Amino acid sequence: MEYLKEILFIDIETVPTEPEFQQLSEGMQKEWVRKSKFVKSAIEGNTDPAMLFEERAGIFSEFAKVVCIGLGSLNNNDNNWKMRLKSLVNDNEKILLNDFREVLDRFSKHYKELRFCGHNIKEFDIPFLCRRMIINGIPLPACMQVAGKKPWEVSHLDTIEMWRFGDHKNFTSLSLLAEILGIPSPKSDIDGSMVSDVYWKDKDLARIGAYCMQDVLTSAKVYLRLKGIHDIEIEPVFIEN
C-alpha cells in the first residue's frame, strides 16, 4: 500500500477568460465565432456565439483559465490513513500555476515516482493545465511531459479510464460513479455547471475551492474501490491556504 503515498490526486476548476463574449478582444471574438460552429449547446437550436460562450467556453483551454487546483495526498500512520487536502485558488492564473508547479517540485523530492490521479484527467485536467502553462510561459514539470509518449507510457491514473474497461464510447461522471459504488457524496451547494457564475458573479473563490477539494476526496475513494481496496477508511485533513 506504500505506493498510494506517491499518488497526487487532482481536480481543477475552470472559467471563461472573460465573463461575457463582448469582452473578448476582437481577434478572440472572431476565433470563438469559428469555434462555436462546432460547439454543441445543451439548449436545442442555440447557435448564438455569445450565448454559447457563456455556456461552453469554460471547457476550452484557449478561451478559459484555471481558477482552482484541488490537490490531495494519502499518508499512513499505524494503519490510520489520512488525506491531506488543499485547494490552490487565485484570480491571477500565472501565479496559481506557478504555485502548483512549486507544489509538484516539493512533492517530487519526497516521491520520485509521482503519479497523478483523478477523474477524466487524461482528457481534461492534465492537458488543460499543460496548455495554460504554455500560454502563461511556464515550463512544464517533468511529470507532465507527455508529448511523444505512447498511451501506455503515460503513468497518470484516470478513474474514468479504469471504469471504461476499454469501452471508449462510455462516459460516466464522477458523481454517478460514486453513487453506484455506494460512496457517499459530500454535500455541496454548487456543482460544476455553476462554477463560472460563482466566480464571475459572486466572486467567491473560497466556495469554489471547497467544492473542488470534495471532488478530489471523492476521486480518491473511487480509485480505492476500483482497485479493490476496501480496508482503508480515509480521514480528510483540510489544509488552510
The DSSP bridge pattern shows strands 115-118 and 80-89 to be unpaired
* The three three-digit cell numbers of residue 165, written as one number: 474497461
- Rounded CA-CA distance 61/161 in Å is 22
Domain 2-17+63-238 homologous superfamily, CATH: Ribonuclease H-like superfamily/Ribonuclease H (3.30.420.10)
Three-state DSSP at 113 gives coil
- Rounded CA-CA distance 156/117 in Å is 6
pLDDT of res. 123? 93
Length of the chain: 241
pLDDT of res. 142? 87
CB atoms within 10 A of CB 149: 10
Report domain extents, the chain: 2-17+63-238
pLDDT of res. 168? 80
* The three three-digit cell numbers of residue 82, written as one number: 489520512
pLDDT of res. 27? 98
Structural contact between residues 2 and 229, judged by C-beta atoms closer than 8 angstroms:
no
Per-10-residue mean pLDDT, the chain, length 241: 91 97 97 92 77 94 98 90 96 98 92 92 96 97 81 85 88 93 81 92 95 96 95 88 67
pLDDT of res. 169? 78
Q: CA torsion 66→146→8→71, rounded to 10°? A: 0
* Residues near 11 by beta carbon (within 8 Å), at least 6 away in sequence: 69, 70, 118, 119, 121, 125, 212, 215, 216, 219
* The three three-digit cell numbers of residue 150, written as one number: 505512447
pTM over 0.85: yes
